[in-house]
């Protein structure tokens, strides 16, 4: 086989059909054409006996060309891009020159159209092409050897390929065809060349500038070698003393050119093209409130999908929340954004003209309750969050899809706290201050909670999560539903709210006042003792104790029954004997007490009688 023509193909059927028609009219014996279908949306199926089609999963032009190289049988290899064109005598002229066994065949080429950048490379005998293209020259198999295209690059892979072949450094036998043999299209919509210059490819252009590169500058070699793995690299310098650099970049004397990144020394001869932001899936909205349905949708959607949120204005609390699950980008009307999929979250938002995408989606989160609301027909897809929403917009959503909103079950536990603390309550000590401190500690630990305090007064400027509730005559039903009853007093004789909590199986958060122990609070079993200074780890409160608490009302009733029925005799108090020295009317004994009489009274009463001058102790 003399010549193998390799055509990497991806979704360019119109141009490729035209190219193959031209090739079909000039096919000769000893020539094969291999088309590598690089995962096109619709597989290429053109019937020509000379054509071999190899379909593969999309991997880029470098991978497709390498597959073609590994499958080719020819002594010479010619690459043709599927959207370009060739001369009517292309194969004939190549075979004429192949007969002379050159290492390389170069020929004149130019732009096929008149739009966009114009190229015109004319060569004559003794001349050479200056561009590094792999398509505008034919290579001998011996020259290529085991060299292949760099599959890590998605642009400028030609430059590295021909550089590795050494077509400008090695002494080669080069055949020249002065006529125009190859015609390059520059007006193809979405062409890789345009995308590359716009900065939309993974591969970028990097320009280094140094006045001189001396042999001791091994750091430059290291940096350029690293950048060359995935980028097109130029070194502009007036002096290069490191010959090895020729393997990793294009070395030129300083001239004017464009670049994505400029490195090295300052240089004014570069037009730096700003690399646009690139994303996979973008959610776009002009304004986000602090709470709302769309805001909640974004939070859950971002947890199941890899998305970037681009937003014109966003409430600070919502930004803080959403930043935990996705990248949040402030929209710049002067910027440029590129993504695979653009999802517009609100039907009232205009389609941004500086966000470029492969596909777009209009979401409708509501029903048409306002006759002025319409779903713009400017996106590839319309998605309503419910059938009710879709039907309410009638024809505007006729071809729309219904996708219900996602939801991720929260694994975060929220605490419900209840207290019945009087405000103000000076007899309770620092109760109000401790309530604030506990609420602040929970907020700082990002433990969600709702704390209902029943009181006639209010805790002013209450911390987030603390709710002032008007007094309620019976709070036991609320205590029963709570995780904790809170009582942070300095002291309590007997706290009814603690008792109500315990009998209902509700754990208690209490300060260590004596009666709390007397009532049966056990730390970690049916509640927690909170130090008076609030110095403790609030995270332990997430482990809410579960317990059973027995309380004996029968024994209490029995004791009261004894007093009320008279069966229980008053306890005898220890008495003091005193001799009366002066007759007087004793109100406690309800009679006149005569001088010389001896009576028995309490110690306190004896002191009073003595101090009054009515008697003396025996």
| Angle, vertex CA 542, rays to CA 539 and CA 548, nearest 5 | 135
Confirm whether 609 is domain-assigned: yes
Q: How far apart are CA 228 and CA 119, in angstroms?
A: 26
The answer on 291 and 214 residing in a single domain is no
The answer on 167 and 69 residing in a single domain is yes
The answer on 268 and 299 residing in a single domain is no
Give the pTM. Answer: 0.56
The answer on 100 and 174 residing in a single domain is yes
Confirm whether 59 is domain-assigned: yes
**Six token digits for residue 545:** 């104790």
pLDDT score recorded for residue 117: 66
Confirm whether 99 is domain-assigned: yes
Which residues, including other chains, have CB under 8 Å from residue 402's CB and lie 6 or more apart? 383, 384, 385, 386, 387, 389, 390
pLDDT score recorded for residue 572: 66
The answer on 302 and 264 residing in a single domain is no
Neighbours of 177 (CB within 10 A): 24
Confirm whether 92 is domain-assigned: yes
The answer on 486 and 354 residing in a single domain is no
What Cα–Cα distance (Å) separates residue 408 from each residue in 199, 297, 411? Answer: 37, 10, 9
The answer on 372 and 247 residing in a single domain is no
pLDDT score recorded for residue 116: 60
The answer on 122 and 225 residing in a single domain is no
Confirm whether 562 is domain-assigned: no
**DSSP one-letter code for 536:** S
pLDDT score recorded for residue 197: 87
Task: Please report, for the domain that includes residue 423, its CATH number.
Answer: 3.40.50.2000
pLDDT score recorded for residue 226: 96
pLDDT score recorded for residue 573: 66
Confirm whether 563 is domain-assigned: no
The answer on 435 and 389 residing in a single domain is no
Task: Please report, for the domain that includes residue 287, its CATH number.
Answer: 3.40.50
The answer on 220 and 187 residing in a single domain is no
Mean pLDDT by 10 residues, the chain (618 residues): 96 94 96 96 91 95 96 97 96 97 96 77 91 95 96 93 92 96 81 82 95 95 96 97 94 95 95 88 95 94 96 94 95 89 95 91 94 93 95 92 93 92 85 94 95 94 95 94 96 92 96 93 96 94 94 89 86 79 83 88 83 83
Asked if 80 contacts 62 with a C-beta cutoff of 8 angstroms, the reply is no
**Six token digits for residue 129:** 């092409």
The answer on 433 and 339 residing in a single domain is no
The answer on 224 and 158 residing in a single domain is no
Helices 90-98 and 13-24 cross at an angle (nearest 10°) of 60
**Six token digits for residue 453:** 């305090």
Asked if 458 contacts 423 with a C-beta cutoff of 8 angstroms, the reply is yes
Domain housing 582: 576-617
**Six token digits for residue 420:** 């019945």
Task: Please report, for the domain that includes residue 177, its CATH number.
Answer: 3.90.550.10
């Amino acid at each position: 086989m003399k010549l193998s023509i390799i055509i990497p193909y991806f979704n360019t059927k119109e141009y490729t059909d035209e190219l193959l028609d031209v090739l079909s009219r000039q096919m000769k014996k000893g020539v094969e054409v291999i088309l590598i279908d690089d995962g096109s949306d619709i597989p290429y199926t053109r019937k020509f006996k000379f054509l071999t089609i190899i379909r593969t999963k999309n991997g880029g032009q470098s991978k497709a060309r390498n597959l073609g190289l590994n499958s080719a049988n020819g002594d010479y290899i010619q690459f043709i891009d599927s959207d370009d064109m060739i001369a009517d005598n292309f194969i004939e002229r190549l075979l004429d020159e192949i007969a002379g066994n050159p290492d390389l065949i170069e020929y004149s080429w130019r732009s096929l159209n008149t739009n966009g950048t114009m190229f015109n490379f004319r060569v004559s005998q003794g001349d050479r092409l200056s561009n590094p293209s792999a398509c505008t020259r034919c290579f001998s198999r011996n020259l290529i050897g085991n060299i292949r295209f760099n599959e890590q690059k998605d642009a400028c892979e030609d430059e590295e390929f021909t550089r590795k072949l050494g077509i400008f450094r090695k002494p080669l036998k080069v055949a020249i065809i002065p006529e125009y043999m190859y015609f390059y299209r520059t007006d193809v919509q979405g062409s890789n060349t345009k995308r590359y210059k716009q900065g939309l490819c993974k591969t970028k252009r990097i320009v280094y500038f140094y006045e001189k590169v001396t042999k001791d500058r091994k750091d430059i070699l290291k940096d350029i070698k690293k950048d060359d793995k995935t980028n097109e690299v130029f070194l502009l310098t007036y002096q290069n003393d490191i010959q090895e650099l020729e393997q990793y970049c294009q070395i030129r004397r300083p001239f004017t050119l464009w670049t994505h990144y400029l490195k090295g020394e300052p240089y004014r001869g570069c037009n730096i093209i700003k690399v646009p932001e690139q994303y996979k899936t973008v959610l776009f909205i002009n304004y986000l409130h602090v709470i709302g349905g769309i805001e909640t949708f974004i939070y859950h959607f971002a947890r199941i999908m890899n998305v970037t949120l681009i937003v014109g204005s966003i409430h600070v609390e919502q930004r803080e929340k959403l930043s935990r699950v996705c990248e949040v980008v402030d929209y710049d009307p002067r910027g440029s954004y590129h993504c695979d999929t653009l999802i517009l979250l609100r039907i009232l938002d205009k389609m941004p003209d500086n966000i470029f995408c492969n596909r777009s989606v209009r979401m409708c989160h509501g029903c048409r309750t306002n006759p002025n609301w319409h779903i713009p027909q400017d996106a590839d897809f319309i998605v309503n969050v419910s059938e009710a929403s879709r039907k309410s917009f009638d024809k505007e959503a006729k071809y729309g899809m219904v996708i219900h909103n996602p939801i991720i079950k929260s694994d975060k536990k929220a605490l419900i706290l209840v207290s019945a603390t009087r405000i103000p309550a000076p007899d309770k000590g620092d109760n109000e201050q401790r309530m604030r401190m506990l609420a602040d500690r929970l907020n700082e630990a990002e433990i969600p909670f709702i704390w209902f305090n029943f009181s006639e007064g209010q805790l002013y400027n209450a911390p987030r999560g603390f709710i002032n509730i008007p007094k309620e005559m019976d709070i036991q039903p609320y205590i029963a539903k709570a995780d904790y009853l809170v009582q942070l007093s300095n002291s309590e004789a007997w706290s009814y709210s603690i008792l109500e909590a315990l009998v209902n199986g509700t754990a208690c958060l209490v300060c260590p006042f004596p009666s709390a122990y007397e009532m049966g609070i056990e730390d970690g079993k049916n509640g927690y003792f909170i130090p008076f200074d609030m110095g403790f780890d609030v995270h332990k409160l997430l482990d809410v104790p579960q317990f059973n608490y027995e309380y004996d009302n029968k024994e209490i009733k029995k004791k009261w029954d004894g007093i009320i029925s008279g069966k229980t005799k008053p306890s005898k108090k220890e008495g003091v004997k005193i001799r009366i020295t002066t007759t007087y009317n004793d109100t406690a004994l309800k009679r006149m007490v005569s001088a010389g009489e001896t009576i028995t009274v309490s110690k306190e009463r004896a002191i009073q009688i003595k101090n009054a001058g009515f008697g003396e102790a025996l």
